[in-house]
């Protein structure tokens, strides 16, 4: 066998080995990128969960309109992070209940300012009851929220 034939044999063997190696590396990169995407999605969903829990706390301690605005802005990307509309719609409810709660606080405070020493109207009682109902709703969400998010942010599924 001459040197030229040995070089041709090595070249013929090396080409499929290199092609196979490139294929294996590409597959490993694809798997790594898929895992990174899964982790990034988990991380972003977890942040939404944390912001939601923080919002619940703020609403239970007399939140304000700015808290509602910031929450709605912070969770607006949720429609792009979940396969179904269940969580985005649920988070939208948070904003709606936050609006109701802060609206009742505003109305009660307005009446107190307009009539600081006088008796409260029937409307004041209604706002107060609505406020309490909204606080209870948020209190209940402390139990419900983790259950809803647990399925969606499970990194092992």
Residue (of 36, 42, 32) closest to 155 by Cα position: 42
Structure tokens at 120: 């409260």
pLDDT at 20 over 90: no
**Rounded mean pLDDT, 142-157:** 85
Band of residue 157 on the pLDDT scale cut at 50, 70, 90: low
CA distance 29 to 68: 42
Position 146 scores a pLDDT of: 94
Q: Is 72 exposed, middle or buried (0-12, 13-18, 19+ CB in 10 A)?
A: middle
Contacts of residue 32, defined as CB under 8 A and 6 or more positions apart, other chains included, come to none
Q: Which helix (H) or strand (E) holds 45?
A: helix 3-60
pLDDT greater at residue 146 or residue 35: 146
Q: Give the domain ranges of the chain.
A: 46-152
Arithmetic mean of pLDDT over the chain: 89
Q: What is the pLDDT of residues 77-102, one digit of tens each?
A: 999 999 899 999 999 999 999 999 99
Whether the predicted pLDDT of 141 surpasses 90: yes
Give which of 80, 73, 62 is closest to 95, Cα–Cα.
73
Q: State the pLDDT confidence band at 129, using cuts at 50, 70 and 90.
A: very high
Nearest to 75 by CA among 53, 107, 102: 53
Residue with more model confidence, 14 or 133? 133
pLDDT above 90 covers a percentage of the chain that reads 55
């Amino acid at each position: 066998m001459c040197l030229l034939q040995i070089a041709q044999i090595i070249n013929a063997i090396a080409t499929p080995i290199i092609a196979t190696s490139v294929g294996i590396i590409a597959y490993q990169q694809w798997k790594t990128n898929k895992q990174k995407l899964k982790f990034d999605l988990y991380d972003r969903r977890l942040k939404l969960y944390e912001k939601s829990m923080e919002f619940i706390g703020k609403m239970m301690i007399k939140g304000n309109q700015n808290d509602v605005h910031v929450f709605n802005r912070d969770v607006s990307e949720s429609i792009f992070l979940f396969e179904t509309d269940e969580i985005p719609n649920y988070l939208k409810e948070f904003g709606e209940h936050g609006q109701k709660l802060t609206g009742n606080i505003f109305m009660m405070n307005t009446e107190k300012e307009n009539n600081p020493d006088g008796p409260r109207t029937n409307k004041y009682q209604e706002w107060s009851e609505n406020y309490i109902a909204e606080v209870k709703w948020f209190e209940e969400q402390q139990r419900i929220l983790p259950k809803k998010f647990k399925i969606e942010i499970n990194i092992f599924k």
